[in-house]
Amino acid sequence: MRDASPAKVYALHIGVILALFALNFVLPDYHQGLFARIMALAVFAMGYNLLFGYGGLLSLGHAMFFSAGLYGAGLTVYHLGWGVPEAFLAGIACGALLALVIGLLALRTSGVAFMIVTMMFAQVFYLLILYFAAWTGGDQGLVIQQASRVVSIGGASFDLTDPTVRYMSALALFSVVLLITLAIVRSRFGRVLVAIRENEERTRMLGYDTTANKLIAVVASGATCAASGAAYALLFGYVGSNFASVQYSILPLLWVLLGGAATVLGPLVGTLFMYYVTDITSGFTSAYLLIVGIALILLVLFAPKGILGTIRQRWLGWLP
Amino acid sequence: MHFGPHLLLAALEGLVTSAVLALTALGLSLVFGVMRVVNVAHGEFFMLGAVLAWAISTAIAGHPAVGFVAALVIAPLLVGLVALIAERLVLRRLNYNPEGTIVATIGMLYIIQQLALTFYGPEARPVEPPFSYRILLPWFGYSGYKLSVVAASVILLVLTWLVLTRTKIGLIMRATQYDSETAQAFGIPVERVYAGVFAVGAMLAAIAAVLIVPISQAHYLMGQDPLLLSFIVVIIGGLGSLRGTVVAAILIGLSDGIISVFFSPTLAKIIATLVVAMVLVFRPQGLFGTTAR
Amino acid sequence: MPLLTTKGLSRRFGGLRAVDGVDFSLMPGEIRAIIGPNGAGKTTFVSLLSGRIQPSSGMVVFDGADITNMPAYKRVRLGVAYTFQITSVFANLTAFDNVALPVQRTLTDGRTKGQVRTGVMEALERTGLADRAHTLAGQLSYGHQRLLEVAMGLALKPRLLILDEPTQGLADSEIDNFIALVREIARSATVLLIEHNMPVVMQLADRITVFNMGRILAEGTPEQIRADAQVQDAYLGATHG
């Protein structure tokens, strides 16, 4: 954050949002659907980035926050017949609450122990979903019918299964989270978070309760990831235990590393890039995870700052 | 069957699990102890050992014992070679940075797993045991091969213990574990020690896998459970302590065997994972060794 | 009334008594230097005061309140600031952001960006770093990093500023500026510094406390300490050992 004029920074991010808005009218059907998915999942990556990129806490268990939102929204619609807005909020609340509990426990550790503890809690969450298959649908998952995915606001009703409504809903969520992230990063809290990442002991000796600040970051991150999960359940109509597996804890890490940790737009860039790489290569190989594996190793070896991180270092020092 | 024999059977099965687990976890513990690297791909080295054992034993005609012995020798060596290459190409370039190596070994996990799927396929395939003698107990017959797995594991553990405590190699390893910079200053080739430890760690997992594969078949996803259980054993047993690793492996193996006879295996896993996570949260110092640097 | 007192303050590491039953008191407004041979327990002692280390026994009283069990960050909020012996500025943040961290925390009302800016620039100007506000701290010279460290301490608006070997690694010209800076700080805060450079100690300190083997060996004005035979023994013994 070298002295950047706020106008330039906001112009860039609002420009990205407007470009995504315009793409809705240009993209072919298939890519319109893919972009909706990417924007919803980029929110997951942004939530992860808040904790990992800015706070310096590497979690290997964020699938549990995503799926807390996924099931929090999906199950309230499926079993309780809740409406879309209530279910969405329920999903976020589940994620925030889970993040609070996990944060209180896991933040007693740090470094490698933090990674392993978060991975284990996520594993417990995953196994619980399998164990309570009677309600969750287990690894088969549950399909949420089109009829329960219609939002009525005032007199108008929006069908989330309609491609344009789905695209615009994903864009709306993405934009809100993007601007909130930008505000957090530029706020005093953002500065403290970065300070904790750089040197926690020093930050404490400046009078900050670093544990409390980290807990806030965990909860904010968990709630954001849950928002992504809840949106995913409602927009795409499916919940399944696969989303709680270890793989979905690794993916946001990969997206963030690829796009650039501790950059506001990095999560979008990383998610977009990874999705299209997979999409293009799926013509040649079904070994999607092979690409994930190779990408992870190449990134840590040769580009630990990711795409936007490298651009910021070389050319655009003002990029938040 | 009555409760008593049932429990005995569960305990025997648990003992076999313990024996294999002790070897696998020892590999993980050595790597973390000496190099401070959390090897997430450890389970895949295990899987690779099993898959190679299948390939080798089916390629060699004749009595099953010949193919099995060949597998027991060749498969670990090949796995060790893979580990050496991975260490050289990736871990060393990362300077063994703890967080970077975790991400990198996650990458290795996916690569090895997918390559196994591509070249070996999604089927589970058996390897014939080298002999099929059954020991007759008053209540049931029990596989002699399973008991020989326990014996083999005990012998290997004792050997490792002797190497670590009685030889110059063991001394060098302990010196490197204690303080790698000072070790380097005293002329210990730290990089070569790291490479050796990483290879030996992977080979221990591969040996364990070759031993277990006549009992439980080779499959490209079979590395996941041993990885999780090895983590649990290393955390419970305490770092760098061979005795702790063995005791914890017996504890976890037996309780896993017994609990899953009487409870749903999913519930058993949930409870075990949660307990271990809580141990890590509330007693991390006793579990990751006392010399945190 | 003293600003800070300790009673029987002790800290053991295994069998080693790093700080051993220290009774100490500090009057408001004074500049106090702590000197002593290496391994005398000076850094451990100030770490106990700042809360970075918990004592094995004894108590610490600040401004009449028992703060023995208070976490470090709360002590900082009470006004006990500590600057590190090894420079530990945030290397990847600008000098401005480094100082903004303590400034924004002390501002409890009127949370505007303008106020943070004013507070930061004031602290940077007092330490002569104003023209380097937007340089990354890691790119500053060593001397400037030490000054930044002091600026961060100042920005906390401390009542007691603990400086751990502040002149270590500074050039002579920088040391003169530094002495002037500490004098100025002392007009609004009590200063406790660990220092090896005896000319600096003699020029700055109102009183000197000498540590040896975890205990207070002597205490007095610079003149008294200079004349103390015991102190000379301790130092000579240390240099020979």
Q: What's the pLDDT at B1?
A: 61
**C102 contacts chain A (CB < 8 A):** yes
Q: Is residue B253 part of a domain?
A: no
Under an 8 A CB cutoff, do A293 and B106 touch?
A: yes
C82 to chain A, minimum CA–CA distance in Å?
A: 7
Q: What is the pLDDT of residue A263?
A: 93
Q: Is C113 on the interface with A (CB under 8 A)?
A: no
Is A289 an 8 Å CB contact of chain B?
yes
Mean pLDDT for B188-201 is 92
User: For B134-162, what is the mean pLDDT?
Assistant: 89
Query: How many whole angstroms separate alpha carbon A14 and alpha carbon A6?
Result: 12
pLDDT digits (tens, 9 = 90+) for A22-57: 999 999 999 999 999 999 999 999 999 999 999 999
pLDDT of the residue at B179: 82
The rounded distance, in Å, linking the Cα atoms of C175 and C193 is 14
- A124 vs B110, B270, B280: nearest CB: B270
B85, B235, B280: best to mutate for the A interface, most A CBs within 10 A: B280
Task: Give the model's pLDDT for residue A284.
Answer: 65
What pLDDT, in 10s, does the model give residues A97-129?
999 999 999 999 888 789 889 999 999 999 999
For chain B, the average pLDDT equals 87
Our CA-based measurement puts residue B76 at a distance from the nearest CA of chain A, in whole angstroms, of 23
* Chains touching C by CB (3 or more pairs below 8 Å): A
Which DSSP string do the residues of chain C spell out, in sequence order?
--SEEEEEEEEEETTEEEEEEEEEEE-TT-EEEEE--TTSSHHHHHHHHHTSS--SEEEEEETTEE-TT--HHHHHHHTEEEE-SS----TTSBHHHHHHHHHHHH--SS--HHHHHHHHHHHHHHTT-GGGTTSBGGGS-HHHHHHHHHHHHHHT--SEEEEESTTTT--HHHHHHHHHHHHHHTTTSEEEEE---HHHHHHH-SEEEEEETTEEEEEE-HHHHHH-HHHHHHHHHHHH-
Secondary structure (H, E, C), A81-120: CCCHHHHHHHHHHHHHHHHHHHHHHHCCCCHHHHHHHHHH
Q: What is the pTM of this model?
A: 0.86
Query: Does B291 reside within a domain?
Result: no
The per-residue pLDDT for A1 is 43
Given a contact cutoff of 8 angstroms between Cβ atoms, the answer to whether C238 and C37 are in contact is yes
Check pLDDT > 70 for residue B289. no
Q: Do the domain assignments include residue B123?
A: yes
The whole-number average pLDDT for the span B168-182 is: 84
On whether residue B289 sits in a domain, the answer given is no
Q: Is the pLDDT of residue C188 over 90?
A: no
Candidates B35, B95, B110, partner chain A, best to mutate (most A CBs within 10 A): B110
Contacts of A4 (CB under 8 A, 6+ apart): A318, A319, A320
Q: Does A120 contact B at CB distance below 8 Å?
A: yes
For chain A, which ranges sit under pLDDT 50? 1-2
Residue C236 pLDDT = 53
ipTM value, please give it. 0.84
Give the highest mean pLDDT range of B248-262, C123-137, C219-233.
C123-137
Q: Picking from A21-30, B125-134, B230-239, which range would have the lowest pLDDT averaged per residue?
A: B230-239
Question: How far lies C163's CA from each of A58, C31, C146, C160, in Å?
Answer: 34, 11, 11, 10
Residue C164 has pLDDT above 60, yes or no: yes
For B94-125, write each residue's pLDDT tens digit.
988 887 898 899 999 999 999 999 899 999 99
Whether B146 maps to a domain, the answer reads: yes
Contact A116 B38 (CB under 8 A): yes
| Residue A126 burial (10 A CB sphere; 0-12, 13-18, 19+) | buried
What CA–CA distances, in Å, run from A41 to A31, A293, B61?
Answer: 15, 19, 52
- Radius of gyration for the alpha carbons in chain C, expressed in angstroms and rounded: 18
Res B292: pLDDT: 35
**pLDDT tens readout for residues C82-93:** 887 767 889 989
**Residue numbers of B between 139 and 168 with CB closer than 8 Å to A:** none
**Of the listed ranges A93-97, A300-304, B237-241, C141-145, the one predicted with least confidence:** B237-241
Which residues of chain C neighbour A195 with C-beta distances below 8 Å?
90, 93, 101
Q: Indicate whether B114 belongs to any domain.
A: yes
> What does the pLDDT average to over C211-225?
89
Is the pLDDT at B293 greater than 50? The verdict is no
Nearest CA in chain C to A202: C88
E-assigned strands of A186-271?
A: 238-239
Cα angle B96, B97, B100; round to 5:
110
Q: Which residues contact A16 (CB under 8 A, 6 or more apart)?
A: A178, A265, A268
Best mutation site among C75, C80, C104, C149 for testing chain A: the one with the most A CBs within 10 Å?
Answer: C104
pLDDT band at residue B240, thresholds of 50, 70 and 90?
low
Q: Touching check for C85 and chain A: CB below 8 Å?
A: no
Beginning with the edge strand found earlier in the chain, give each strand of the sheet holding C190-194 in spatial order: C80-83, C160-164, C190-194, C31-35, C207-212, C215-220
Q: What is the pLDDT of residue C65?
A: 92
More reliable by pLDDT, A278 or C132: C132
Residue B151 belongs to what domain range? 27-223
**Does some domain include residue B111?**
yes
Q: How far is B31 from chain A (nearest CA, A)?
A: 14
Q: How many CB atoms lie within 10 A of CB B155?
A: 10
Domain presence at residue B20: no
Mean pLDDT calculated for residue range B237-255: 81
Lowest mean pLDDT among A301-310, C74-83, C228-237: C228-237
Contact residues on chain A for C88, CB-CB shorter than 8 A: 199, 201-202
Distance CA(B54)–CA(B204), nearest Å, equals: 17
What average pLDDT does the segment B191-199 reach?
93
Q: Tell me whether residue A122 is exposed, middle or buried, using C-beta atoms within 10 angstroms of its C-beta: 0 to 12, 13 to 18, 19 or more.
A: buried
pLDDT at position B21, please? Answer: 94
C111 pLDDT more than 60: no
Name the residue among B103, B273, B284 with its Cβ closest to that of A113. B284
> How many interface pairs between A and B have CB atoms less than 8 angstroms apart?
105
Q: Does the beta-carbon distance from B277 to A60 stay under 8 Å?
A: no
Mean pLDDT, residues C22-35 taken together: 93
Question: What is the model's pLDDT at position C113?
Answer: 64
Dmax over CA atoms of chain A, in Å, equals 56
- What is the number of domains present in chain B? 1
Nearest CA in chain A to B86: A297
Give me the pLDDT at residue A2, please.
Answer: 46
- What chain A residue is nearest to C98 in terms of C-alpha separation? A195
Q: Give me the pLDDT at residue B290, please.
A: 46
Instruction: Quote the percentage of chain C above a pLDDT of 90.
Output: 39
Question: Do C216 and C237 contact (CB within 8 A), yes or no?
Answer: no
